[in-house]
Amino acid sequence: MIRVACVLAIFLPACGPEYEVVLVLPDAEARAAAVRAEIAVLMGACPSPVSGEDPSPTIVVKAVTWSIGREAPDIGELDSGSYGLYGRVRDVTCAVRWAGCTEELLREDGDSRIEIELERVAGPGCLPWETCDETGRCACGEAGDSCDGTVGDACCPTGCADLTEDPLNCGRCGQTCPGMECAVAACEEGQCGIDPVPLEDGTPCSDGGVCEDGRCTVSCTPGETEDRSCGSCGTQYRQCGEEGQWGVWGDCDERGDCELGGFESVECGNCGTQSRTCGATCWWSDWSSCTGEGECNPGDVDQIPCGECGTQAALCNQQCEWSEMTECGPDRETGDETCEDGNLCTDDWCDEDGTCDGEDECPEAAPVCCGSSIGCGECCGDDPSTCEGPIDPCMQWMCRDTRECYAVQAENGTDPRNACGNAICCDGTCVACCGSDVSTCGAEPRCADWACQSGSCIPAYESNWTDPENECTDPQCCDGSGNCADSCG
């Protein structure tokens, strides 16, 4: 960073304590554009806000100015106390482009380095009665005088003036103390005296008149009137009395709304400024167009997508400049960290680097992944093995196309879930047999066949005196009640 040094000494003996005051410009652009530097020592405190405006001469204790690249002058001696150290830097147009201020307690035994950090501002240029030279200096008046800006050496339209003593510029430029023509100008410490001392009677005054009792009297024709300019482009009149002497000047009939040569500036747009001046008729000019604007409005956010699911953003600072883009990450405006990695069976999130990441996680209501492009379900395809929940023994699970489980009744004569033990399903109920199917009734009893009645196996006995299946030992035969009898025939 460029550091422009200026030495400030307190009670400056040959080997006494010194303070080194250093102006610090913010960046390379400022270093390249800086032409002239100024430091003003203000009574008490810094202006608020620090906008680069000219300090009031009444609060400037001392001030120095120099061209960038040349040796900075000493500020000189100061009494111990609190001061505002106000630094400004101008560009080639003489406009104040960088300014800063720091409040310091300067002590007789102090000895240190003080840095004034400068920020970009849209400050004023030269006053209407000043001219800008090639070194960035505002020269005062037609003579091009160099005033130091203090109350004792302020720049006024008439040139450099001591506002503490000059009766034509008493306290501020253009303020004339009354009774100046025929009285000693009474400007003391910037205030017009209450009782000016009259000049000797007979002292010549304006318009060919002479002073008499502290007033300029001029012979005139009774009833004659004359006028003169006053105030903000106003006019005041006086009339010739019956004795042929001018009367006192009347009140000033001001016509304008500002003081000739006045200057105002206000903020506009994105850190820009616009200004107006008080013209020859003492009316404000129109506001100028907004100049010196930045590239954005403070607080604005510029957000762009990055990575697979992230965003990065830039913030507009108080100088209307964009900050550096942040690193890629989840949406910083909404805080949304969700994303979609293309796998329907994963729970996804956006990593800090803007990458979409995820892990297998099907919901409890659909716990099975049927493929990354299909998604989760209770079951997949025609496989109901993942279906769970209580169902009747003679019900069985099936899987719909929508990956949902549903229960259906098992076919008669089957036991697909092995839930009936030694029985089989029949019309949704576990029974020993079903319809004409007696295959589940077991081994046939002697001299009988099985019959199925209401789901139960009932023996159907062979007819008496028969043995169609040769189950009895000859000469025995079935007796009609499931037994072999000793004789048949």
| Residue corresponding to tokens 């005196």 | 465
> What is the Cα–Cα distance from 214 to 177, expressed in whole angstroms?
14
- Enter the tokens of residue 133: 């030279």
- Determine the pLDDT at residue 283: 86
The predicted model scores a pTM of 0.39
In a domain, 295, yes or no: no
In a domain, 411, yes or no: yes
Rg (CA), the chain: 55
Strand-pair category, 356-360 with 346-350: antiparallel
In a domain, 23, yes or no: yes
Q: Is 32 helix (H, G, I), strand (E, B) or coil?
A: helix
C-alpha torsion sign, points 211, 215, 221, 224: positive
16 and 40 together in one domain: yes
398 and 468 together in one domain: no
How would residue 41 be classed by pLDDT, with cut points 50, 70 and 90?
very high
- Enter the tokens of residue 399: 């899987």
Question: Last residue of a domain, which of 125, 155, 173?
Answer: 125
For residue 368, the tally of other CB atoms under 10 A from its CB is 19
Instruction: Please say whether the beta carbons of 458 and 452 come within 8 A.
Output: yes
Summarize pLDDT for 75-132 with one digit per residue, the tens. 888 888 899 999 999 988 888 999 999 999 888 777 788 999 999 998 888 877 788 8
Q: DSSP for 72-123?
A: PPP-B---SEEEEEEEEEE-TTS-EEEEEEEEEEE-TT--EEEEEE-EE---
423 and 444 together in one domain: no
Q: DSSP for 454-472?
A: TTEEEEEEPPTTB-TT--S
Cis status of the peptide bond prior to 167, with omega within 30 of 0: no
Strand-pair category, 424-426 with 154-156: unpaired
322 and 376 together in one domain: no
Summarize pLDDT for 280-325 with one digit per residue, the tens. 788 888 999 998 888 899 989 888 888 778 888 889 998 899 988 8
> What is the Cα–Cα distance from 279 to 288, expressed in whole angstroms?
14
Q: How many domains does the chain have?
A: 4
In a domain, 180, yes or no: no
- Enter the tokens of residue 404: 């949902």
In 234-367, beta strands by DSSP E: 234-239, 263-268, 272-277, 301-306, 310-315, 346-350, 356-360
> What is the Cα–Cα distance from 229 to 276, expressed in whole angstroms?
23
Q: DSSP for 185-236?
A: --EETTEE-SSPPBPPTT-B-GGG-EEETTEEE-B--TT-EEEEEETTTEEE
78 and 13 together in one domain: yes
Question: Last residue of a domain, which of 125, 151, 170?
Answer: 125
Residue 95: CB partners within 8 Å, gap ≥ 6?
122, 123, 124, 125
Torsion of CA 94, 97, 98, 99, to 10 degrees: 70
- Enter the tokens of residue 417: 């879930």
Reference 349, options 302, 304, 307, 301; nearest CA is: 307
Torsion of CA 447, 453, 455, 459, to 10 degrees: -10
Summarize pLDDT for 400-434 with one digit per residue, the tens. 988 999 999 999 888 888 888 888 999 889 998 98
16 and 120 together in one domain: yes
In a domain, 174, yes or no: no
Summarize pLDDT for 314-371 with one digit per residue, the tens. 899 988 999 888 888 776 555 556 777 778 888 788 877 778 877 777 888 888 988 8
Instruction: Please say whether the beta carbons of 87 and 37 come within 8 A.
Output: yes
Which stretch of DSSP H or E encloses residue 33? helix 28-33
Instruction: Please say whether the beta carbons of 274 and 289 come within 8 A.
Output: yes
Summarize pLDDT for 148-183 with one digit per residue, the tens. 777 778 888 878 888 888 877 888 887 777 666 677
| Residues recorded for the chain | 489
| Residue corresponding to tokens 């979409």 | 356
In a domain, 324, yes or no: yes
Summarize pLDDT for 424-483 with one digit per residue, the tens. 999 889 998 988 888 888 888 888 888 888 888 988 888 888 878 888 888 888 888 888
Question: Last residue of a domain, which of 77, 95, 125?
Answer: 125
366 and 478 together in one domain: no
Strand-pair category, 36-43 with 18-24: unpaired
C-alpha torsion sign, points 31, 35, 41, 42: negative
In a domain, 282, yes or no: no
Which domain covers residue 307, as residue numbers?
Answer: 301-343
9 and 117 together in one domain: yes
> Mean pLDDT across the stretch 243-248?
77
DSSP 8-state class, residue 155: E
Cis status of the peptide bond prior to 49, with omega within 30 of 0: yes
Residue type, 70: R
Residue 406: CB partners within 8 Å, gap ≥ 6?
397, 398, 399, 400
| Residue corresponding to tokens 């079951």 | 379
pLDDT at 14 over 50: no
467 and 452 together in one domain: yes
119 and 11 together in one domain: yes
Which stretch of DSSP H or E encloses residue 130? strand 130-132
- Apex 167 CA angle, 164 and 169, nearest 5: 70
